[in-house]
Structure 1
Amino acid sequence: MIKRSVLLGLGIVSLLLGMAGIVLPLLPTVPFVLLAGFCFARSSPELHRWLHQHPWFAQALCDWHQQRGLRLPLKRRALVMTIASFSLSIWLVSVLWLKLFLAIICLILVAFLWRLPVVANAGKSSVYDPE
């Protein structure tokens, strides 16, 4: 019961951070939404189903679950936004060690995104059914 509550809370916080990441340059959206999906799968079938049917997230989650990849436009957007947001952050920060830390995190995230497979864009594919 406690584990379920913790996962539900973590999933909600993760989803809120992911949604904030849509408009805030420092927060990535995709990792937080994937984490929310993971947490909801283990804590709330209703929220898991809702997330997988949401117009903003359904296709990307479906692609991730079925093929462990992203469609090319989403992958490009994620790479561009990651590089842009980290570049802005590195430029704004005045502490050298923090600039280096941000640069290392950026390189790790870009390498992760770069290595993700590209899913063929065959129009609107079926939505992932978590059950």
Structure 2
Amino acid sequence: MDPQASKNTRVDYSHEVTPIKNPILRTMLMILSFVFLGVGFVGVFLPVLPTTPFVLLSAFLYARSSPRFYNWMMNHRHLGPPLRRWKTTGSIPRSAKILAISMIAITLIPSILFVVPVLAVKVLLGIIGILVATYIATRPESDKVA
């Protein structure tokens, strides 16, 4: 059961954070977290750039570097629910699965057919697309908001 019962309640997720002791490495992880979160934000507007993996990676890196920013992400109005759902159940809502797999097809198929000239790269793109789509399709489904 999710500890965040009310939308206005801020939950402290600091107990989930295990900061790295080395201050230089911790600072590098924080910088990378900001970069990946920024790339994820850009991915909202560019269909060829996936948002979710970068947001998940950013949350993972914040969990190793900054309780403050990890708490911010987990309590964020838009980022928090899917992060909490993924953390607790590993599930993806059906609508998100459909959108993700559709975007993979919409971007990869024309690239394979019309843009990429090298056969080996075409095959590699096809294999990667199929593997990613299969991974997404086989995740549990949950339309509940965490």
Whether TM exceeds 0.5 here: the answer is yes
Name stretches of at least 5 consecutive residues in structure 1 with no aligned partner. Answer: 126-131
Q: What is the root-mean-square deviation in Å for CA atoms of aligned residues?
A: 1.6
| Partners of 2:104 and 2:37 in 1: CA distance | 18
Quick one: which of 78, 97, 100 aligns to 1:75?
97
* 1:26–1:89 contact (8 Å) kept in structure 2: no
1:62 aligns with 2:93: no
Instruction: Specify the alignment match of 2:121 in structure 1.
Output: 98
Instruction: Specify the alignment match of 2:131 in structure 1.
Output: 108
Secondary structure of 2:127's counterpart equals: helix
Quick one: which of 39, 43, 53 aligns to 1:17?
39
Name stretches of at least 5 consecutive residues in structure 2 with no aligned partner. Answer: 1-22
Change (3 A) 1:56 1:93: farther
What is the TM-score normalised by the length of structure 2? 0.76
* 1:63–1:71 contact (8 Å) kept in structure 2: no
1:43 aligns with 2:65: yes
Q: Write the deviation string for residues 35-82 of structure 1: whole angstroms up to 9, x where unpaired.
A: 111001111122212222223322211110111111111122111112
Deviates most, 73-82 or 31-40: 73-82
* 1:26–1:85 contact (8 Å) kept in structure 2: yes
What is the TM-score normalised by the length of structure 1? 0.83
| Partners of 2:134 and 2:119 in 1: CA distance | 23
Q: Compare CA radii of gyration and give the structure with the larger one.
A: 2
Change (3 A) 1:76 1:40: same
Instruction: Specify the alignment match of 2:8 in structure 1.
Output: none
- Report 1:116-127 matches (<5 A): 116-119=139-142, 121-122=143-144, 124-125=145-146
After TM superposition, which residue ranges in structure 1, 4 or more long, deviate above 6 angstroms? none
